[in-house]
Chains A and B, each alone.
Chain A
Amino acid sequence: MSHPARWIAIAVALVVVGIGVVLATQVGSDPRADTTTSQLVGDLAPELALRDLDGNAVDATTLAGKAVIVNFWNTWCVPCREELPSLQSFAARHRDDPDVAIVGIVRDDTLRSVRSYVKAEGIGWTITMDPGSRAALAFGTRGQPETFAISPDGIVAGALIGPANEDSLEKMLAAARRQAP
């Protein structure tokens, strides 16, 4: 094969085939897909070391042995306001269940706004601030609302980016309970 054009054609063909192989192996995959799911599902949950609005500790000790629903939110977040009725129904349904805890972690808001909102909406579950956004960072949150279900033995059993509804909350709680030892 002496003609240079053939070598060039072969080289171009190899590049095209290479691109084709790479694209073929990536069919159906979205490079930003991991922005809609949590990487933490199945892993040990980040340790919580927070204080509720009255200054009481909210940590591994107080949550030990419980299936925990962790909800990241802000008072100014519209989707958070939209999911509030679902959270309230869910909380009311499990109010007397000693093995379930709900912890609302405020991502980025003022204590005054949070106190006022909690009182106005009659939020009955544990609400904590997140100084330095440490918990939000530890959970790898990308915004609010985001909800995580943690099993009694501390494994992240489910995660939801975006507003939760009653059905999704129940499913996440069931997943957390299934993880129980």
Chain B
Amino acid sequence: MTLRRVFPWAALGVVVLVVLAWAAWPDGGSVTQRDRARDLATELRCPDCEGLSVADSSTSSARAIRADLRQRLAAGETDEEVRRAYVDRYGESILLKPEGSGLGVLVWGLPVAVLVVGAGGLALALARWRREPQLHATAADEALVDETRRSDQM
């Protein structure tokens, strides 16, 4: 495999790695309790409004939950313990992001499955195209072309 062939693939690999690293890189700075409370508030559905997070709502319930989140985090609860406490109290629907079980599997799993299948299909198609024999003109073909040209010029 020549350098000319390898280079585009290597460049593509570097681009993919950079994008993945950028996406996975944690935000800078230390995460404060206020940040954690705000993040959790964005994950929880306001229980007495439609389609709003606790962070975005101004109902009494949302205000109470925001205060409760701050208290729980100050008391040393982990984010997961806080989520679990709210699911125990309200059910799974209190989470705006679906969990990785039940129908939630579809939400998370389907795009990945489609991506994998698509990438697999593309790889197979590329391999197939590369395997297809190149056509070379035989002496008979060239003679036929020459003959045709001559007859056209006459």
Contact = CB atoms under 8 A, between A and B. Distances in A.
B91 A19 contact: no
Q: A-side binding surface: helix, strand, loop or mixed? A: helix
A26 B102 contact: yes
A15 to B, nearest CB: 5
A158 B121 CA distance: 54
A107 B60 contact: yes
A45 to B, nearest CB: 12
- Chain B interface residue bracket vs A: 20 to 34
A18 B106 CA distance: 9
Given A22-B103, A31-B92, A34-B90, A137 B65 contact: yes
Contacts, number: 85
Given A11-B121, A107-B60, 11 more contacts: A4-B121, A15-B110, A15-B117, A31-B98, A33-B91, A33-B93, A35-B91, A108-B60, A133-B63, A137-B65, A141-B61
B60 A136 contact: yes
Interface of A: 4, 7-8, 11-12, 15, 18-19, 22-23, 25-26, 29, 31-35, 37, 39-40, 107-108, 132-134, 136-138, 140-143
A122 B154 CA distance: 116
B105 interface: yes
